[in-house]
Amino acid sequence: MGILTLEQALAERAALRRAGQTLVFTNGHFDLLHVGHLDYLEKARALGDALYIGVNGDDATTTLKGSGRPIVPAAERARLLAALRPVTAVIIFEGATASALIDALRPEIYVKGGDYAHKPLPERPIVERYGGQVRLIDLLPGRSTSALIARIKALPD
């Protein structure tokens, strides 16, 4: 399917429902794509028939991650994600959370990284309200965008 608008994603979502298929949804910045992202997405996709990803837009990423982020623009991050085998569709969204997107799509399973086990997950009440499941997936240790940026900064000139 590739990169979709919300309207296109809703139409495809309706087709999944008619076919009795399970939608898994996750969201994030996915700045500087790395093997930790791929591992996470493979595990997420294994939970259902289709995997949609909400990608934070550039303004939201700057607000949430700070000055200098994103390193890679949203359109490019979305294109890279859409090319990955586990990914069914990607939707770029603005906003601090994916709550509105989740409320519109109502995936059966909402996935986030295991790092959310001990911090608030703002989308959880919406998912639970319509009867969906929230699943946390263990992340590969030492594989994060922040760790990758730190390694790059430590390189000799």
Q: Is the pLDDT of residue 104 over 80?
A: yes
Express each pLDDT in 57-97 by its tens digit. 999 999 998 898 899 999 999 999 999 999 999 999 998 89
* 3-class secondary-structure state, position 37: helix
The DSSP symbol for 155 reads: S
Residues above pLDDT 70, as percent of the chain: 99
Q: Work out how many domains the chain is built from and give that number.
A: 1
Express each pLDDT in 2-30 by its tens digit. 999 999 999 999 999 999 999 999 999 99
Q: What are phi and psi of 27, to 5 degrees?
A: -150, 160
Report the CATH number at residue 64.
Answer: 3.40.50.620
What is the residue range of 35's domain?
2-153
pLDDT of residue 143: 72
Partners of 49 in beta bridges: none
Own/partner long-range contacts of 123-129 (Cβ < 8 Å, ≥24 apart): 123/27, 123/97, 123/98, 123/99, 126/99, 126/102, 127/102
